[in-house]
A and B are shown apart, each in its own frame.
Chain A
Amino acid sequence: GAVVSQHPSWVICKSGTSVKIECRSLDFQATTMFWYRQFPKQSLMLMATSNEGSKATYEQGVEKDKFLINHASLTLSTLTVTSAHPEDSSFYICSARDRAGNNSPLHFGNGTRLTVT
């Protein structure tokens, strides 16, 4: 079945540094990928919609200059948390749908647990 690979699965970084998270669709092409954030014991909140070859669409309250999204190919989207701070510590999950059809299900990566010290 379709698989979405997310890397790294966990990362610890120092405050002020930047962290890049990759999301790859392994056996399908995705024109659109979605990035979610989940704080401890909370739900998944959509951060942004990543569109191949164009700018991402950010949800209200999400800083686009802080969370840089690049969707350079049909199988790869990256989320870069710039100048990370402890409050950015969270679980980040990407998802993608096979562009072959709108009826195809949304596939999720296994998530990246970011801890900023």
Chain B
Amino acid sequence: AQKVTQAQTEISVVEKEDVTLDCVYETRDTTYYLFWYKQPPSGELVFLIRRNSFDEQNEISGRYSWNFQKSTSSFNFTITASQVVDSAVYFCALSVISGNTPLVFGKGTRLSVIA
């Protein structure tokens, strides 16, 4: 079985601060995908990144960066120079690669960026 843990329930930062959202996962599968989604107040899920278990390279996309550490089963997400528009709930998720399988979501971290 798969499990995703996002220990931070809520985080509040002041605009322009950097913030890291933690994600720890559990799976017995050796091949899997890890995801991050953003859910703004309107409710839709906005896809941010997908990373497969073979690729431990860190990734940077604008103000977003991701740190994948297989040794600690973590896939942390950092927002640099946060902005008010970053305020949302962020979900980390996991799916195995084999077969047509659903995503297992963490409980989410609610990020509030204060102007």
Give residues in A with beta carbon < 8 Å to B. 31-32, 34, 41-46, 49, 91, 93, 95, 97, 102-103, 105-106, 108, 110-111, 113
Contact = CB atoms under 8 A, between A and B. Distances in A.
Given A43-B105, A95-B103, A102 B98 contact: yes
Contacts of A103: 97
Interface string B86-106: 000001000101111011111
Given A43-B91, A110-B43, A102 B97 contact: yes
Contact of A34 (B44, B102, B107, B110): B102
B47 A43 contact: no
Interface of B: 37, 43-45, 47, 50, 91, 95, 97-100, 102-108, 110
Given A32-B100, A102-B97, A103-B97, A108 B106 contact: no
A49 B102 contact: yes
A93 B42 CA distance: 13
B108 A43 contact: yes
Contacts of B43: 91, 110-111, 113
A102 B98 CA distance: 7
Contacts of B104: 46
Contacts of B106: 43
Given A44-B91, A44-B105, A95-B102, A111 B47 contact: no
B102 A46 contact: yes
